Amino acid sequence: MEPKMLFMMVKLFVIKRYLNHDRLTTIKNKSASDEVGEISLKQFKYVSRNLLVEVSRMLPFVVTGGIILGIVFLLDSGYTGSDFGTKCPIARWFSGLRKIAFAMMIPILGAYVAYSIVGPQGLLLGMIADLAATAPEMLYSSGQDPTKWVNELAVYYHQD
């Protein structure tokens, strides 16, 4: 057996043994007056499961973008050069569709990360925040100065 494979097996065994141990401690905050006064270390063993679920929500966008990319290459197979995939009008349309599918991967991941942290309330906010982070031009597509609102706010608060 390869040393790398053996190391991975030992690592998985140790992690599983640790996460299923009976004596995982619970920390209680005695001075807390609210009902969320205790933290269990067993809660942290679900982090990897949550991350895998979030990535699985993103996978349909990755697969769809890859399939559409294959269709673009098939339709534009007679052309070569730097503009490959944009010569034929139908290939150009499919290429735009592929860009949309690939652009939605990261916002979907961000939305479900927020969903995992906050719950259903975080789904929309995570999606919007990640869209704004990955494509800031969507916020400023009106042609206005992106810092205009900051300048107006500063003028408003600095009036005597």
Using an 8 Å Cβ cutoff, are 108 and 57 in contact? yes
Structural domain count, the chain:
1
Residue at 62 is within a domain: yes
Average pLDDT over residues 30-34: 51
Residue at 18 is within a domain: no
Rounded to two decimals, the pTM is 0.53
Domain that holds residue 98: 46-136
Residue at 71 is within a domain: yes
Residue at 85 is within a domain: yes
Using an 8 Å Cβ cutoff, are 98 and 72 in contact? yes
Residue at 23 is within a domain: no
In this structure, the number of other CB atoms found within 10 A of the CB of residue 146 comes to 11
For residue 39, the cross-strand partners are 27
Average pLDDT over residues 9-13: 70
Which residue in 77, 102, 12 sits closest to 48, CA to CA?
12
Residue at 8 is within a domain: no
Residue at 101 is within a domain: yes
Residue at 83 is within a domain: yes
pLDDT one-digit tens code per residue, 60-118? 888 888 888 888 888 877 766 666 667 778 888 888 888 888 888 888 888 888 888 77
